Chain A
């Protein structure tokens, strides 16, 4: 295939990085790519979540379905999910979730025998695979802050019992939100702020203060020495136009010009803990590449067009 390449060379810069939180800058690309990455992170990066629950005994106050739903929503560590199979295309089993390639089994056996209310939490889930465990369990990932009590599932009083077997499967957020590895993923356009210095200097200090205070977020401030208005935090600007309206109201239109840079984005990624935030981005790039690969034209489509294309088109056109 001939033709020049129109590929861009995007740049990334990490600003902040924690296991479950990441802030980074993405430059030299456009909103379509930024949005595709956001969409893929939210709904197409696979994780593992409980999908099938067989309840043996449930004498708790919550009904079986309620508990099954709560179990499904517990995030499980899913570093392995990218390499796992979806049970629907698993050959080793018939998708009944019994094999190690596509599923992980969990057991929960709790009974309250004291007068004290017993909290059943994600820590009571016994996993058949040490790589797939409920998040927040110390020993799993110590750097994630935790109060060490796990995610509460149900509370039991004396004599109540909960015994069940659960199968966790690989899935994506598009199927059900429980499989989404992302708590929030957002991006904003980087603002480009230009102050008209000449016009600004025509304001008195009092007026400057009034104008600076008109911004709902602290974007501008006044230099205590030179008394000049300066931009302290451009990213605090929320595209609310308040300062522009204020300038107009003060009879100084054009005092400030704020535009969104069309090729610079600031991303924030928050993970549920199923995968690390940095890994979430890497996985999303990988998934997007796979998706693009899947939409390539197949050989037979190209051949059929070579043979009958122009002719066929004319015949159909009459």
Chain B
């Protein structure tokens, strides 16, 4: 009866930003990114990628509530970098990784269909 619509899970409501950025008020080079309508799929890969960055002192994500379709990623970096820079870098790196994966798989697919 009062169940939320299923599309609520993946359609960003009008007037809401996909990604909201908020600096920490007390610690410099720390911030949280609130990402609307995303879950562990994006949260976990970003967190793990951020851990690869030596300038990142802390990176974590949480799904605050299963019925609030958003995740919060918190990043704390050294003064050498900034949360925003680290965040962008991690997206770029993951994108590159997926490109490598895609071309690698396509080559393998071609090879495989030739061999068998």
Chain A residues close to B by CB (< 8 Å): 1-3, 5-14, 17, 24, 26, 29-33, 35-36, 39-40, 44, 88, 172, 174-176, 278, 281-282, 285-286, 288-289, 291-298, 301-302, 305, 309-310, 312-314, 316-317
B10 near A174: Cβ-Cβ < 8 Å: yes
Residue in chain A with minimal CB distance to B11? A88
B96 within 8 A of A: yes
User: Which one, A282, A291, A293, contacts B106 given CB within 8 A?
Assistant: A282
A6 near B23: Cβ-Cβ < 8 Å: no
On chain B, the number of residues with a Cβ less than 8 Å from chain A's Cβ atoms is 57
With A29-B97, A174-B9 given, name 13 new contacts (CB 8 A).
Answer: A3-B85, A10-B100, A24-B105, A32-B44, A39-B40, A292-B98, A293-B91, A295-B46, A298-B18, A301-B17, A305-B23, A309-B23, A312-B23
B72 within 8 A of A: no
CA distance A174 to B94 in the complex (A): 23
CB distance from B114 to the nearest CB of A (A): 12
B88 near A296: Cβ-Cβ < 8 Å: yes
A-contact 0/1 string along B56-94, CB 8 Å cutoff: 000000000000000000000000010011011111111
User: Which one, A291, A301, A314, contacts B41 given CB within 8 A?
Assistant: A291
Chain B residues close to A by CB (< 8 Å): 6-7, 9-11, 17-21, 23-26, 28, 33, 35, 38, 40-42, 44-49, 52-53, 55, 81, 84-85, 87-102, 104-106, 108-109, 112-113, 116
B88 near A6: Cβ-Cβ < 8 Å: no
Note all chain B residues with C-beta closer than 8 A to A10. Answer: 97, 100-101, 104
B45 near A36: Cβ-Cβ < 8 Å: yes
Q: Known: A285-B98, A298-B18. Contact between A1 and B85, CB under 8 A?
A: yes
CA distance A316 to B24 in the complex (A): 9
CA distance A66 to B17 in the complex (A): 39
Q: Known: A295-B38, A295-B42, A305-B21. Contact between A175 and B6, CB under 8 A?
A: yes
Note all chain A residues with C-beta closer than 8 A to B25. Answer: 313-314, 316-317
CA distance A295 to B23 in the complex (A): 17
B41 near A44: Cβ-Cβ < 8 Å: yes
Note all chain B residues with C-beta closer than 8 A to A7. Answer: 92-94, 96-97, 100
B84 near A6: Cβ-Cβ < 8 Å: no
Note all chain A residues with C-beta closer than 8 A to B53. Answer: 3, 6
